[in-house]
A = this chain, B = another copy of it.
């Protein structure tokens, strides 16, 4: 990496990747819309980036006339408020460092404009927390470009709440915090990804009807109308966070899985208690839930757990010895090709198994918890070309 003040170089490039995270104690509802402060703490597992990741290249140059951004090859409005929050907060950190330590060093980088290019290696249609990975990647890449350190999760949080959890690998909690300015609403690693080597994560992509209500609008309506959500946030989640952290520390899959399923169900219950009600699960999701409970009942222990975010796709947590049998069971009950009808053909696609791998050119995946954001050293992988414009766009 070359520093931006290196003016022998016309354009400075930095490329980083960041992971998706899947909550096992769910975030739903803000107490502050602008700062994105949640009504309860949450906890997630960071997925390995071999499987799903965001990649962002940021270029910085005196030649650029304005900040610009491309998402998945398409230029987007840079003035979107959450994007502006992230840029503003990162630049504030740069100024703070300058005034503290090294006056004058960052003058150039602060006046320079940036070009941002971001891509996900998974279909956005899959509804897999793409904004969390995306904002984590943006903030991390900017921080590396501008050489700032410090509490970056609060900046990612202002892009997309759950993005703060993608700033760390392994098992990550997002403390709701108490302060009005949100300074204590930060993510923190509970255990690193190496802590529980047997844990596995599968993504079952249910061919989705389009998400009927976006997360931002949905959670606001829930906060406004659901008394069950208020009760959940105040009376249920605090105890559940403690139990979940203990289960993770002890690698107690039975407790971890049961809490994960209960929390997913309670989140969707509060969506149903919203007025008008919000439904993210469909009949296929419900059949997956039924299958998991029957499977566990068969073995008289919790070997597999499901969780659903704001969409019909299931994320499955299990342990290494059970993966292949459970995948066979899913294939049996949701045969991808045996039935010629479109309904069944589209029912379920297994990530890390044939179906989704056919769609995505993924390397053999590591269906395990993974590390946090990281920089890409291979400059041929920059998403922006030597001219500072996306390689893939016209």
Contacts and interface: CB of A to CB of B under 8 A. Distances in A.
Nearest to A265: B277
Contacts of A270: 228, 269
A276 interface: yes
A253 interface: no
12 contacts: A227-B231, A227-B236, A228-B231, A265-B273, A265-B275, A266-B272, A276-B289, A276-B293, A277-B289, A279-B286, A279-B289, A282-B286
Interface string A242-258: 00000000000000001
Contacts of A357: none
Copies in the complex: 2
A283 B212 CA distance: 13
A286 B279 CA distance: 8
B277 A272 contact: no
A235 interface: yes
A268 interface: yes
B275 A262 contact: yes
Interface in A179-209: none
A261 interface: yes
A272 B235 CA distance: 18
A232 interface: yes
A293 to B, nearest CB: 4
User: Sorted from nearest, which 5 A-B pairs have the closest CB atoms?
Assistant: A269-B269, A269-B273, A269-B272, A231-B231, A276-B293
A186 to B, nearest CB: 28
A316 B275 CA distance: 17
